[in-house]
A and B are shown apart, each in its own frame.
Chain A
């Protein structure tokens, strides 16, 4: 679906934002693009969505070089959720959706009200102006805008930002549902939980370079110290021991009365990111 080779981009003579990125995203894959502010995430997404021109290297989407691909047909196949909910504040949710939907062929459109229902949008607000909505509600309308055209390739920039935990769970479920339909998702985020729960593969980008690219599982395994912490009771006293995972093959290698908990010492994606880049994500 997406094939990026030696992608470079510069905002000026001395402002090189991307230094030769290489990655591919397969059909129906959820690909996470993780990096701190200013790392080149948004620039990459803007190049892929055709907003920024003048890049170096080759970028193919839908099997076509992106330099020739930014036609109306191309834009009909993609959906983009921006980091902020960009909507007409004076129009209602329905008017916004009907307006943006009007640029797509009728046969590929989803029903705006059904989509908003799916996103658990409060029906009372359907016809009220967006200016009266909370951030979470605006985010729901923005998500509906990105999905209304049934895109084959979905670009999501911080999809769960501004949502309460229940909203974030709902959005993850909807993204997962999109993947099941065969939609490819390019997810740009700071949110490690989103990346961990949703992505088939993730790329860590720092200062315009991809420093790691793999499945979240592989990254964790590769960066794990394979130790296990066991919390237990022995002779009425609570104790804790760290052992190597291999040692568990022969059972728990010490005496105890009761096991309270066993924790694998797998690093989080954020730990791994810091290990690769020396920087935090946010």
Chain B
């Protein structure tokens, strides 16, 4: 069995090399790293919001020193016209009323919460510092997690499909049907190699973008979550390749998976957009597992790991059945 597995691994590695898969992976790693370090961090660098308070009667008691008091509503208007990210608070009636010049109702709640938290009198709005990350480190972890998720969901998924479609076109899958080897090894070898590649990618991506000092603490958890995601995506990619006729059909399936599976997860996890049904989306849990791992809070619930293991075993069974069906298909 080990000899057969070694041969399969060697051949799959050669297929990946000839398909320039590793080149694409290295290119992606380089591109993401450059983007994070020279693009995203600069782009996301922003001063903290200024908060302007109009409280002629002094109703707000102890107000934070970083709040800018204004003498009139006209002055507040003038300040906000110049500083459109700023937040105005009109407390002339005794209770604070938040004024935002440019904002989206759902996306800018955090600005409102932050401004109100600076008024010590209102206990319902107390902003809290979570964790010990600097804003830059927080952004590094967030974007590294997002890009890693995209890489595995989209690029890794396409990678396994491109290798398999080549084998399908060459007809060699049929030859394996009459080879004295356990057919599940054929599936296992590919999944294992893609897993190994994804784990290496995840480790390097974390190291280059989160930094050596912090990588040590989070890497084991990140690798566990990467492994879960990589196994699921590789198996889904394998299954789609076996069930679909050609790469055109696969491209459609890819769009469905990339758009309808990954997009809602990103929106729900990274923005203030609320989706009541997101709790039923399995990728949401995997993404949050990865994100929490990046922030040093790995998932500890056994149910999550049991569900992930069951999903992987189930997918492996489906993929093996689809593979056997493909082997028997007319030429």
Contacts and interface: CB of A to CB of B under 8 A. Distances in A.
B331 A82 contact: yes
Contacts of A83: 331
Interface stretch (A96-104, A109-117, A204-212, A274-282): A96-104
A52 B331 CA distance: 13
Contact of B178 (A42, A75, A88, A89): A75
A95 B15 CA distance: 12
Contacts of B11: 88, 91, 99
B173 to A, nearest CB: 8
A104 B170 CA distance: 22
Interface string B309-331: 00000000000000000011011
A104 B180 contact: yes
Given A86-B175, A91-B14, A102-B3, A75 B180 contact: yes
Interface stretch (A43-51, A169-177, A258-266): A43-51
B171 to A, nearest CB: 4
Contacts of B3: 102-103
Given A52-B328, A90-B14, A100 B180 contact: no
A84 interface: yes
Q: Is the interface of A mostly helix, strand, loop or mixed?
A: loop
Contacts of A76: 180
Interface string A49-93: 111110000000000000000001111101010111011111100
A75 B179 CA distance: 6
A106 to B, nearest CB: 9
Contacts of B328: 46, 51-53
B4 interface: yes
B331 A72 contact: no
A104 B331 CA distance: 25
A84 B328 CA distance: 15
A159 B4 CA distance: 28
B125 interface: no
Contacts of B167: 88
A88 B177 contact: no
Interface in B263-313: none
Nearest to A79: B178
A121 B18 CA distance: 25
A75 B4 CA distance: 14
A50 B174 CA distance: 11
B114 to A, nearest CB: 57
B259 interface: no
A86 B174 CA distance: 8
Interface of B: 3-4, 6-7, 10-11, 14-15, 18, 167, 170-172, 174-175, 177-182, 327-328, 330-331
